[in-house]
Structure 1
Amino acid sequence: MKAVATFFYVGLLKPAPGTWGSLAALPVAYALLLIGGFWLLLAATLAAFAIGYAATRALTKDGPEDPSWIVIDEVVGQWIALFPVGYGAMMMSVDIWRLWPGWISAFVFFRLFDIWKPWLVGRADARGDALGVMLDDVIAGVFSAIVSIALAALAHGVLM
């Protein structure tokens, strides 16, 4: 359970284990996208959410609500933030690195929303349970994905 919750012990790195977890999620997402495209990343995200929720629930029964070393939630959120990159590359039939600005914006905005915890992110975090631990990062990932889509639309002249 601890190996899953820490994303194979990345969550034990100091300082800022959440940022380390998000960084570790990037090469794994890249590999998933290379192997199976967007649909494999989506399936892996759903599986990681379910397994991460179970691990978080088991490990936080008697401890703090959201220990910093649990980073599987950051992995799930970071992968969600990368959905526009994977889906866009698939739809345009281009190499995923052609959308490199999306990788950067997904990482930066996911970390921003995860740390800042605006609106629904903060409400999910305030639940104080294993589902809240997972959901705050899911919502931060969705917010980051929306910002990345908006930035891509702006960059490509769609919003002008």
Structure 2
Amino acid sequence: MSIARLIGTVCGVGYLRPAPGTWGSLAALPLVWVLHVLGGFPLLVLATLVVFIAGLWATKVMTAGQEDHDPSEIVVDEVAGQFIALWAISYPSWAHGIEITALWPGWVAGFLLFRLFDITKPGPVGWADRKGDAMGVMLDDVIAGVFAAIGVMVLAGIAHGVLGL
């Protein structure tokens, strides 16, 4: 298996069926925990950038000369997007010295919201997906991750009474 295929499929996770994108998102969860424990929020941000750049390259290589610009086995984009969705729990955990596993509702919300936005592709998520190139493959999940992170923050605000609801 080529390096591009290893990266793009996240070491073969993209070949799991059904729902390879969901498997890719699930694979990101323990990675977020390890990265956060090892280096906190800054390491997670750095890893997100590395995953995005490596994923862009791997997607370009894997789709070169192919009609399908976003084959289902490419799930590195889901990893990047899921990382971003969980920035919303990594940052407060790191900044306030809270054990990240104590924020388990944020893990659940971040996963579910990311999958929701990735599957339904609202607004800018769909725009990025329709680009039809490697950047679009990566960018739609990044945007879905941002939407999910915002959703996690709003839900945390509601749950903790910050919004006064």
**TM-score range normalised by the length of the shorter chain:** over 0.9
Q: Quick one: distance in 1 between partners of 2:43 and 2:58?
A: 22
For residues 4-31 of structure 1, the C-alpha deviation after alignment (integer angstroms, 9 at most, x for no partner) is 0000100000010000000000001100
What's the TM-score, normalizing by structure 2? 0.96
Runs of 4+ in 1 over 2 A off after TM superposition: none
Match of 1:19 in 2: 22
**Pairing partner for 1:156 from 142, 157, 160:** 160
How far 1:105 sits from its partner (Å)? Answer: 0.4
Match of 2:38 in 1: 35
Match of 1:49 in 2: 52
**Pairing partner for 1:8 from 5, 11, 19:** 11
Q: Quick one: distance in 2 between partners of 1:18 and 1:132?
A: 16
Pair 1:87-2:100 in alignment: no
Match of 1:96 in 2: 100
Residue identity in the other structure for 2:98: V
For residues 17-56 of structure 1, the C-alpha deviation after alignment (integer angstroms, 9 at most, x for no partner) is 0000000000011000011111101000000000100010
Q: CA RMSD in A?
A: 0.5
Structure 1 gaps of 5+ residues are none
Match of 2:122 in 1: 118
For residues 53-76 of structure 1, the C-alpha deviation after alignment (integer angstroms, 9 at most, x for no partner) is 001011111121100000000000
Q: Quick one: distance in 1 between partners of 2:37 and 2:146?
A: 22
Structure 2 gaps of 5+ residues are none
Q: Quick one: distance in 2 between partners of 1:147 and 1:25?
A: 18
What's the TM-score, normalizing by structure 1? 0.99
How far 1:91 sits from its partner (Å)? Answer: 1.5
How far 1:139 sits from its partner (Å)? Answer: 0.1
How far 1:146 sits from its partner (Å)? Answer: 0.2
For residues 101-133 of structure 1, the C-alpha deviation after alignment (integer angstroms, 9 at most, x for no partner) is 110000000000000000000000000000000
Q: Quick one: distance in 2 between partners of 1:85 and 1:8?
A: 26
